A and B are shown apart, each in its own frame.
Chain A
Amino acid sequence: QVHLVQSGAEVKKPGASVKVSCKASGYTFTRYLIHWVRQAPGQGLEWMGWINTGNGETKYSQRLQGRLTITSDTSASTANVEVSGLRSEDTAVFYCMIHSSSSPFDHWGQGTQVTVSS
């Protein structure tokens, strides 16, 4: 079965960077885009960006453009998201997810808490 296992919680100071990883198993890694989605405390879901694990193409939300980098390592079946210039409002749970728009194939990582605090 499909598993997306994310790295552990992070606490960072304002201005620092954070990198969260997502290790995939149970499917062909290069077949689906990997999306990153975050959820601030008490708030809704916010799409951050995606990576095409087949060719490395990326797309980022306009809101995070310039501070966001998504990478993948096909040999390790792992995708990573890095956010730089952290602010308190970046405090959120980060999720990686994969899906097919026309089928019930839809899987999420367990979530990684990122806390930005001085």
Chain B
Amino acid sequence: QSVLTQPPSASGTPGRRVTISCSGSTSNIGFNYVNWYQQLPGTAPKLLIYRNDQRPSGVPDRFSGSKSGTSASLAISGLRSEDEADYYCAAWDESVSGRVFGGGTKVTVL
């Protein structure tokens, strides 16, 4: 059971927009920055979004993040086949003094 709650799956056709939610609490998302990661099979997670809504250099602007209260979301617009992957949200949690992750959302491009 993950501390942060994500839907297990999301899907869309090429070119459409997909949004993934991440729900937490005041001890994690409500108080700290949210990061989003993309994980392709057999590889380590890759940072997509940091500080709630910032993109590292090299990440396409099709990926965007937002946060409100104790929830965050990741949006992928102009969906492409290479976006098929697992996506995780993460945040620092004050109650455990450590990082917590969402359970992951598998994005499928139909």
Contact = CB atoms under 8 A, between A and B. Distances in A.
Interface in B76-103: 86, 88, 90, 92, 96-103
Contact of A110 (B35, B44, B86): B44
A59 B101 contact: no
Nearest to B8: A44
Contacts of B45: 45, 95, 108
Contact residues of A: prevailing secondary structure: strand
Contacts of B97: 59
Contacts of B96: 59, 61-62
Contacts of B56: 104, 106
Contacts of A111: 44
A109 interface: yes
A45 B98 CA distance: 13
B35 A45 contact: no
B54 A104 contact: yes
Interface of B: 2, 32-33, 35, 37, 44-45, 47, 50-51, 54, 56-57, 86, 88, 90, 92, 96-104
Interface of A: 35, 37, 44-47, 49-50, 59, 61-62, 95, 97, 99, 101-104, 106, 108-111
